[in-house]
Structure 1
């Protein structure tokens, strides 16, 4: 097999690529406002209750009206998924992998169209949308290859007169609850991992970005996925969330989202209900409060650039985003000055024209939460840059930097999920690592230094799932930097890594006497 390489990003300074994206945006514009059904067992089910999906850059623009599932729909989807599992679990793993390979090829051909939909429904700038689509392709390719690696199990020892095997078999019906911030990549990755390992799925995408998920369902169908393997049931968490988590036939839950919701799911999944035959497995990625540490022996230009890009890329709406920086006091003032200069140059606006570094935040709830934290930041430190919003047409927040805060202030401890970063001092590198670790989260982090001893100290002591040296703390690539975190960042599931598919399977030992 050809060695795995990640999908390349598009260079939009090339006129041909720019025009291709503009044409894709026009194509997406042509089907805005349509009604979208549920998909249960391959059947389209249109409901009276529909949720309006809108463009966060222009709240008046409707992306689509998405049918909402009730508990009755969820029960029906569960029954279909349970029945389909009995045949799908026995399907040739190579055939299941082929569906992913073909889906990757389809999305690669329609790459700009999917990116354009991400620009519209999620408010992503061109480069962020393109990276999201590329990551989707990467997940499809990588997990297909991983399934081919695992399909024959792993070698165990046999003694004279016996033959032993250790095989992986699927779990059953899984519930996938996907987020809005990577509405194609994470939604696709968390859906196809159980699919390719022989499980069946109830997919409940984020209400903010359900149209993207529907379009992905169409790709899976075109790629040859049998009816009932993935059942698309968008709906309110209040209406169906607890219902599908609690269901006796739910074998596992794959969740990406906030800490509070993740903990709630973890608690409910632990309860064994009457008739339940298995302890439920939870695969959870729940957010972060990610730190860039800047040493005295560092490239300070690189440090400032890393802080600004990691904090404000996609308006800080990444669980890996830099929302806190710890800078050694001897270089603190210089780093702060460079961050201020770079942050003030960033522009904010509708990403459709590719003229702005930052687009909107996703909705009113996010906007109001960020505004509340900006007020908290004003009480805890000094507002250096930003702190303002533009809400006339869309949900725009200007890049915001607070300085002279303490590492344990609220804006340095609580996940904001917006374009807000705080910068605090440390007297030496050991204290900086101590401060970096002093949060409930442990997802990503970065260290900017030219001191090899300090890099090795951080490798040993900086307690995060993804640690980067001399670069920003966002931008993990499938197969290159397996992604997942410690502490309250989740179950360290390491998406895009060699252990991820195994989370959707169970090991079976067979021993034959010869």
Structure 2
């Protein structure tokens, strides 16, 4: 009997002992600042002269640490280590593989505030956002381990007299995991352990802006007992190492989370059969969104304003699920806008190390520049009614920004900004609001705030997103509760934290024995 899964609770920081524990985590992180972390290839730690430097986005001169940078030669060495390790790892019992994930989850739980505090420093996450990231990472380990135990014996199929049939899942091979900086522990860990617990070996290429938290995760997996070569840590440039590994004939699958442009490029490159390649590579991709909260004329307007603001500005809007479009039926547009502006002005922007900070920095200089350019576009396409300012003198800080009266086809309504900017658009009725919600090339998350049952049911049928939320914000999917992944240019609708996610990392085998 597989023990029931329960998701990791979030920390209540109104309790003083939790505050002290988090501050202790920050202290420990500061004591380890500036350290260098090696590559891990086949169980061997390799130091390179060329290093990737991780900076604090809230204090851009402060170095969090450095990691060794892989080149193509080292990427090849890692590939061969993974190929070799796959031979034994694929035959390791599912129970043993799951046990490693359970042990890693227990280690993470003990070090929870330290890991969260590291993301406060390295990714600029305020306390609650960092805490949720670590909790989600623990959830992924616990959930996927239990899913593997449920799937280890396959699925029953029919047998006939004098014949016994089996339907089992077997692992694919070597996978390349290319993880993002915005959930630098949760998504990185989740995509990696899903592949590993299914019996595959992995080359992990984390985001270059948040490599230190990835290095810590690799240490935890080692401590949990993962054999050498199953997880190989190869930070490096996308152009040099990423492309090389995506193209490699021994790569069996690529698990990618990131931008639409990079995702479609990986999809295209992976589709080409290389000399010596004897399979079609599988691509598991989550590529962002342009997510809409629709507010009906029959709705709880306070809930609507609260949902829009929290979904738009949590972690500075740097979530693929963030609300970047509020489409509001004209009867209630002014009321919702006015209340959203009031709520936005209550947000404090500053150092994420302070518990009182609502919103920290954006991730780096290029993100800052891009978002500020979109704010300038917003001045042409609509009216800035909150925020609109930025300050990159010390860190990359942008005020939460609302742009009102934006047309449905405007750039601000169509292009992914990935920052604390939300466009407000007026619809004449609920039908038009749904049409506008569906008018992008993305289809990741969306929300509908309404008390009209017919409209709610209409949205459930017609709102084309992978994750639809009714009468709540459009961020904050919980592993095992709201499996996460989107349609269209949001990716392959690979439902992370869902019951069929592990099957994406396996292939089915039918065995029929006659007597």
Q: What's the TM-score once normalised by structure 1's chain length?
A: 1.00
SS at structure 2 position matched to 1:351 = coil
1:160 counterpart residue number: 161
Question: Does 1:341 find its partner at 2:350?
Answer: no
1:285 counterpart residue number: 286
Matched residues in 2 for 1:109 and 1:137: separation? Answer: 11
Question: Does 1:409 find its partner at 2:439?
Answer: no
After TM superposition, the structure 1 stretch with the greater mean CA deviation from structure 2, 498-507 or 59-68, is 59-68
Deviation at 1:36, TM superposition (A): 1.0
Deviation at 1:407, TM superposition (A): 1.3
1:62 counterpart residue number: 63
C-alpha distance after superposition, 1:385-441 (max 9, x if no partner): 111001111000000000111111000000000000000011111111010000010
Question: Does 1:219 find its partner at 2:220?
Answer: yes
SS at structure 2 position matched to 1:244 = helix
SS at structure 2 position matched to 1:207 = coil
Matched residues in 2 for 1:148 and 1:213: separation? Answer: 26
1:426 counterpart residue number: 427
1:241 counterpart residue number: 242
C-alpha distance after superposition, 1:191-221 (max 9, x if no partner): 0001001000000000011000000001000
Matched residues in 2 for 1:2 and 1:251: separation? Answer: 32
SS at structure 1 position matched to 2:371 = helix
1:485 counterpart residue number: 486
2:120 counterpart residue number: 119
C-alpha distance after superposition, 1:257-282 (max 9, x if no partner): 00000000000000001100110000
2:383 counterpart residue number: 382
Matched residues in 1 for 2:459 and 2:228: separation? Answer: 49
How many pairs does the alignment contain?
Answer: 514
Question: Does 1:373 find its partner at 2:410?
Answer: no
Matched residues in 1 for 2:287 and 2:66: separation? Answer: 28
* 4+ residue runs over 3 A deviation: none
SS at structure 2 position matched to 1:182 = coil
CA RMSD of aligned residues (A): 0.5
1:83 counterpart residue number: 84
SS at structure 2 position matched to 1:353 = coil
C-alpha distance after superposition, 1:165-209 (max 9, x if no partner): 000000000000000000000000000001001000000000011
Matched residues in 2 for 1:449 and 1:160: separation? Answer: 56
C-alpha distance after superposition, 1:139-184 (max 9, x if no partner): 0000000000000000011111111000000000000000000000
C-alpha distance after superposition, 1:108-155 (max 9, x if no partner): 000000000010100000000000000000000000000000000000
1:254 counterpart residue number: 255
Matched residues in 2 for 1:347 and 1:408: separation? Answer: 31
Matched residues in 2 for 1:45 and 1:331: separation? Answer: 60
SS at structure 2 position matched to 1:283 = strand
Matched residues in 1 for 2:174 and 2:303: separation? Answer: 46
Deviation at 1:2, TM superposition (A): 3.0
Matched residues in 2 for 1:199 and 1:193: separation? Answer: 9
1:439 counterpart residue number: 440
Deviation at 1:304, TM superposition (A): 0.2
1:498 counterpart residue number: 499
SS at structure 1 position matched to 2:210 = helix
The residue correspondences of 1:73-152 to structure 2 (distance < 5 A) are 73-152=74-153
Deviation at 1:442, TM superposition (A): 0.1
2:3–2:146 Cα contact (<8 Å) kept: no
Unaligned runs of 5+ in 2: none
1:307 counterpart residue number: 308
2:303–2:472 Cα contact (<8 Å) kept: yes
Matched residues in 1 for 2:373 and 2:391: separation? Answer: 15
C-alpha distance after superposition, 1:275-294 (max 9, x if no partner): 00110000000000000000
Q: What's the TM-score once normalised by structure 2's chain length?
A: 0.99
The residue correspondences of 1:163-242 to structure 2 (distance < 5 A) are 163-242=164-243
